[in-house]
Amino acid sequence: MDRERYSPAVAVWNYCEKDVYVPQIRELGVQIYSFHDIFSPRAKLSALRRLIKQLKPEVVHSLSFYLNIAAHLSTRGTEAIAMGSMRSVLQLDKRANGWLLGKVSARWPRNQVYNSLEAAKDKSRSKSLFLPKRVFVVQNGIDLQYFCIVPLLTTRPVRILAVGSLVLVKRWDRLLSATAELKRRKLDFSVEFAGDGPLRKSLEQQAQALDISDRVTFRGYAHDIPLLLSHATFLVHTSDAEGSPNAVMEAMACGRAVVATDVGDVPSLVENGKTGFVVPRGDDGMLVERMTTLISNRDLCKRMGEAGRIKAEREFGLDRLASDTLAVYRAAGWEDAQPVVAEPFVLYHR
């Protein structure tokens, strides 16, 4: 984003000073506003309305489905354009946010940005009344200088990386079952989980029950994903539902092959047989076979990883993300014709 022309700000609904993103946002020179001393949602909404009247942003963009309705209500009576977001699967987000909040956040604001082509298709097929008027698709982008390609060393042991929260929808139990079968086949490899969540204890218990604790490591939350990818042979992603998964894009940017289930935009991110393998969700046998192929063929891993990096450079960059996002704001009615400072205002729910 051209910071001589645009002045972004971030408001955080549930603020925590220790959040990993706080110092990163401040380092970019972006102002952070919070409601840390306000506990009532209604009072927070009132505070947000006052903040918007004070700052007079031209765009207020919720980056969380949970806060879509807050972006809509807080901009009523102002000249700001409200934008909502949906970064996963619509039905899952609606259920996760409860009957009322799920419905209203799915409908308002009337302009919403989905990060998944597949999610937009689901919306177009839906007959529900609780849908936005217009949906724009802006797929995720990543920093290609931070997630840079590191040559795959064929002399290292095979290390499989799994990145993501330890929650039910990620279906890491599927990967553990595959690990047990791969061990039974006497293949030489290890699996590393980077991420934390409520299912960690049960997944560790499953690993013990399957007698694969010697092959599996749970690292917990990790800040050094590029470093972990540089040491990995390939990435496995076994989710039951996704939007546009960053973990898959990050692995490809780092020159690593990917084995992933066919959820969300994975089939458009991963070119099956070229940059990795796309596995039908629930086909555990094929998951094992595709992992076996990559464990046994390091040269194929290398070729797929190099092809993945080429695609990442072509499609995943932050420049594309910024230009697509600003184009969406214009399509929603933002007038960006004058050479003046504008203020895209981001509403973030920790």
Tell me how long the chain is. Answer: 350
Integer Cα distance of 194 and 223 in angstroms = 9
Residue 292: closest CA among 216, 219, 184: 184
Q: Identify whether the C-beta of residue 350 lies closer than 8 Å to the C-beta of residue 19.
A: yes
Token couple for 52: 């918007």
> Given 3-state DSSP classes, what are the helix, strand and coil percentages for the chain, each rounded to the nearest 5?
40, 20, 40
Rounded to a whole number of angstroms, the CA Rg of the chain reads: 21
CA dihedral 272, 276, 277, 278 (to 10 degrees): -70
Cis status of the peptide bond prior to 157, with omega within 30 of 0: no
What is the structure's pLDDT at 340?
Answer: 40
Integer Cα distance of 207 and 194 in angstroms = 15
**Phi then psi for 136, rounded to 5 degrees?**
-115, 140
Integer Cα distance of 125 and 228 in angstroms = 39
Token couple for 82: 């409200």
Tell me the three-class secondary structure of 170-190, residue by residue.
Answer: HCHHHHHHHHHHHHHCCCCCE
Q: Identify whether the C-beta of residue 119 lies closer than 8 Å to the C-beta of residue 93.
A: no
Q: What is the pTM of this model?
A: 0.90
**Distances in Å between the alpha carbon of 119 and those of 88, 127, 156, 259, 320?**
8, 14, 39, 21, 20
Integer Cα distance of 309 and 275 in angstroms = 9
Burial class (CB in 10 A: 0-12, 13-18, 19+), 130: middle
Q: What is the pLDDT along the chain (350 residues), one digit of tens a residue?
A: 788 888 999 999 999 998 888 999 999 999 999 998 898 999 999 999 999 999 999 999 999 899 999 999 999 999 999 999 998 888 888 888 888 999 999 999 999 999 999 989 988 888 888 999 999 999 999 999 999 999 998 778 999 999 999 999 999 999 999 999 999 999 999 999 999 999 999 999 999 999 999 999 999 999 899 999 999 999 999 999 999 999 999 999 999 999 999 999 999 999 999 999 999 999 999 999 999 999 999 999 999 999 999 999 999 999 999 999 999 999 999 987 554 444 565 655 55
Token couple for 1: 């984003």
Q: Identify whether the C-beta of residue 250 lies closer than 8 Å to the C-beta of residue 229.
A: yes
Token couple for 273: 């047989």
Integer Cα distance of 111 and 147 in angstroms = 31
Residue 125: CB atoms within 10 Å: 7
Q: Identify whether the C-beta of residue 116 lies closer than 8 Å to the C-beta of residue 92.
A: no
Reported in sequence order, the residue ranges of the chain that DSSP labels E, i.e. its strands, are 9-12, 31-34, 59-62, 81-86, 111-114, 134-137, 159-163, 190-194, 216-220, 234-237, 257-261, 276-279, 344-348
Domains of the chain are 9-141+317-348 (3.40.50.2000), 159-315 (3.40.50.2000)
| Chain centre to alpha carbon of residue 295 | 27
Integer Cα distance of 26 and 315 in angstroms = 28
Integer Cα distance of 322 and 62 in angstroms = 16
